[in-house]
Structure 1
Amino acid sequence: MKEPMTDARRKQLYRIKKRKRRKQCIRVALRMAVLCFLVLFAVQKTADLLRVDDSDRMEDAEQSYSGQGGKTRTNTEKTWGVFGKADVLTQEDKLHSIEESDEYPDQLKELAEKNSETIDFVYDYPEMKDKKQTIDLSQEAKTDTVPLLLQWDERWGYMPYSGGLLGYTGCGPTNLAMVVLYLTGDKTVTPASVAEYAESAGYSVPGSGSSWTLISEGCEHYGIHAEEVPMDEDRIKAKLDEGCLIIINVGPGDFTDSGHFITIIGYDRDGFIINDSNSRTNSKKRWSYEQLSRQMRNLWAMYN
């Protein structure tokens, strides 16, 4: 007859089973660790092979591009991660590439160095400069607010203007285009079309940008009138209250090292609201009259 199991024996068997299960778990964990290591090792080797193959193809393409067997960093070059994935270049990488390359005009290099907002625009120049752009400002023409148009928008920023590129010298046409687009709703008026008109009518100044007469006289071509406004805060606000927009020419200061056009589109208790065709950041700020007045050189109230 089988003897009944004592509590001590039962506890002993439980401990034995527990130790066995623990050993089994350890063995399974070790096998999984080895398997994971082998998989990662295989992936790494595959990535290395792909990276070498891609580097060879890039080198062949670069040698073909330069014509002399030398390497030219192209606009599509990327850095490569540990698993062979293309990493997006940082703004610092792009700026360094711009500064080191001969593909960029000096004006664009200067633009990228002075205004970090323009780095992507400048970096894309070799690839985009000869592409025909479709410009459709239908949505901008429908808005209830003055649309912010940027002179370095890729849709028009690479076109020649005033001895340079519109993205660098085109603040005059871009500000006038904003005003005309808002006051008339004419979606065919773009910075590109205004720049073409300015050059044909003699309002561009080679190497400098646009003359003041593009604003004071050239606006009539679009059915817009310009009236000089005294440099007085109350007079400026009064014109804005009448529904006018105010185009300002400013000298060296917060907006430029030389000369620049900006547009005052309104005001509130925090200051004046502007559209700066060279900076989204400046356009989001509020500006006091004191800040603007020390840089103002002339002002025109624009109306139709």
Structure 2
Amino acid sequence: MIFRQEKHPSKRRQQVYRYYVIIAAAALVLIGGGLGIVLSRNSRPETKEASLTKEQKELYRLAGPHIETQKERIERVRMEATAAGYPEGVIELLDKNPATVSYVEDYGEKQGQIYAEDIGDDYVDGQIPLLIQWDERWGYAPYGTSVVAVSGCGPTCMAMVAAGLRHDPTITPAKVAEYGTQNQYVDEENNTYWAFMQEAGKNWGLSCYSGFLSEEELSAELSAGHPVICSMGPGYFTQNGHFIVMTGYENGQIRINDPFSTENSGRTWTYGEIHDQIKAMWVYQIDQG
């Protein structure tokens, strides 16, 4: 093999060197571009995801945490109570009066418990106190085979009358309910017999007479400080049966303590509005005998 000697070997090497430099540079550009595309493609979703997360966090910060509405709370408590197997009468309280939601929510933990030995600040000397049967201080107490909150409107009314007339804040709905149960004043459906209204007051030193009072007679009794317990039929106060206490009369307006409703108790009523719903009336005073 014959080798030809180059006339200008240094110049030739320079050209070859330049050629390889150009090739290498081009390769680097291509490789760098490819990596850039890959990195760009891989990084874009992360950037977008991070951006969305920040937006969501900002929206959450601006909106604040979700606050459960009263309606949502009632439905949640209803589902929880149903799942836990609470008595039907307890769950139905939610439909009859939404204000009972706390009572129903706490039923599983507090059923059968009594949390007060007296009526506390509800007692005002010289007045017939307003007591609510689903008050958690005594609403979980048993009455018959039920509880005061569900079936204890009768004992709660008697507790109002006895505590007020006897000036005794230790007379609570739970204690009166216990007396009613022990003395069999409760029927098999946990309704209070009318005989309880006629007779039970004697246990607290009260006398009682029953009769359907005219508006004039009612006004005279209430003005004399004699509260009147009424058995009510369907209407403003109940769909079935209920007991309330009439506590005062002024300018044609009757003040009523409804043991199931602070709303009904917070307004006055005319005789004409409610007399057709009254099924029976009992008038109370201190027994002078």
Partner of 1:100: 79
Amino acid aligned to 1:155? R
Maintained 8 Å contact 1:229/1:235: no
- Is 1:275 matched with 2:257? yes
Maintained 8 Å contact 2:114/2:174: no
- Is 1:205 matched with 2:187? yes
Greater relative contact order, per chain length (Cα 8 Å cut-off, separation 6+) = 2
Determine the C-alpha separation between the residues in 2 that align with 1:132 and 1:221. Answer: 21
Q: CA offset at residue 114 of structure 1? A: 1.8
What SS is found at the alignment partner of 2:92? helix
Identity value in percent = 32
Maintained 8 Å contact 1:231/1:293: no
- TM-score for both structures, normalised by structure 2: 0.73
1:58-69 aligned within 5 A? none
1:125-274 aligned within 5 A? 125-129=107-111, 133-269=115-251, 271-274=253-256
Determine the C-alpha separation between the residues in 1 that align with 2:87 and 2:270. Answer: 36
Determine the C-alpha separation between the residues in 2 that align with 1:216 and 1:235. Answer: 19
Partner of 1:74: none
Determine the C-alpha separation between the residues in 1 that align with 2:101 and 2:61. Answer: 27
- TM-score for both structures, normalised by structure 1: 0.70
Amino acid aligned to 2:91? K
Q: CA offset at residue 85 of structure 1? A: 7.6
Deviations 1:155-203 (A, max 9, x none): 1111221221210100000000000000001222100000000011111
What SS is found at the alignment partner of 2:139? coil
CA RMSD of aligned residues (A): 2.7
Aligned length: 233
Maintained 8 Å contact 1:94/1:123: no
Maintained 8 Å contact 1:270/1:286: no
Counterparts in 2 of 1:125 and 1:230: CA distance versus 1, 3 Å: same
Q: Which has the larger radius of gyration?
A: 2
1:20-169 aligned within 5 A? 41=54, 44=57, 88-101=67-80, 102-103=83-84, 104-129=86-111, 133-169=115-151
What SS is found at the alignment partner of 2:123? helix
Q: CA offset at residue 120 of structure 1? A: 2.1
Counterparts in 2 of 1:135 and 1:296: CA distance versus 1, 3 Å: same
